[in-house]
A = this chain, B = another copy of it.
Amino acid sequence: MIKPLLDRVVLKMVESEETTKSGIILAANSKEKPQVAVVVAVGPGGNIEGKEVVMQVKENDKVVFAKYAGTEIKLDGEEYIIVKQSDILGVIE
């Protein structure tokens, strides 16, 4: 389990199949990296380099995030992406 620092958020990629079922497909060509993921862990936010950051996403939120943002890691066979909250564009409801 990864506990993100500061304003970081750990995301788990949504499988392509799951993406299709929910009707969400990226507009760009299908070879590009999908940008929809589920939040699995949220950093504490707080005072980050002198600026107050309030975390606005929570576990299990399905989110859209900025292409090329974040760092990918694998843990126990699962792929995760760690992004800053500011790289998250919106929550899908």
Give the interface of A toward B (CB within 8 A).
1-6, 8, 10, 23-28, 35-36, 41, 43-44, 46-47, 49-54, 56-57, 64, 66-67, 71-77, 79, 82, 85-86, 88-93
A85 CA / B89 CA spacing, docked (Å): 12
Q: Residue among A5, A10, A41, A51 with the most chain B CB within 10 A?
A: A5
How many protomers of this protein does the assembly include? Answer: 7
Contact of A52 among B44, B47, B67, B86 (CB under 8 A): B47
A19 CA / B92 CA spacing, docked (Å): 28
Evaluate whether A90 and B50 lie within 8 angstroms (CB atoms) in the complex, with A64-B73, A73-B64 already known.
no
Between-chain CB contacts (< 8 Å), 18 pairs: A1-B92, A2-B92, A2-B93, A4-B89, A4-B90, A5-B57, A8-B89, A10-B90, A23-B76, A24-B73, A24-B75, A24-B76, A35-B71, A49-B51, A49-B53, A50-B52, A71-B89, A82-B89
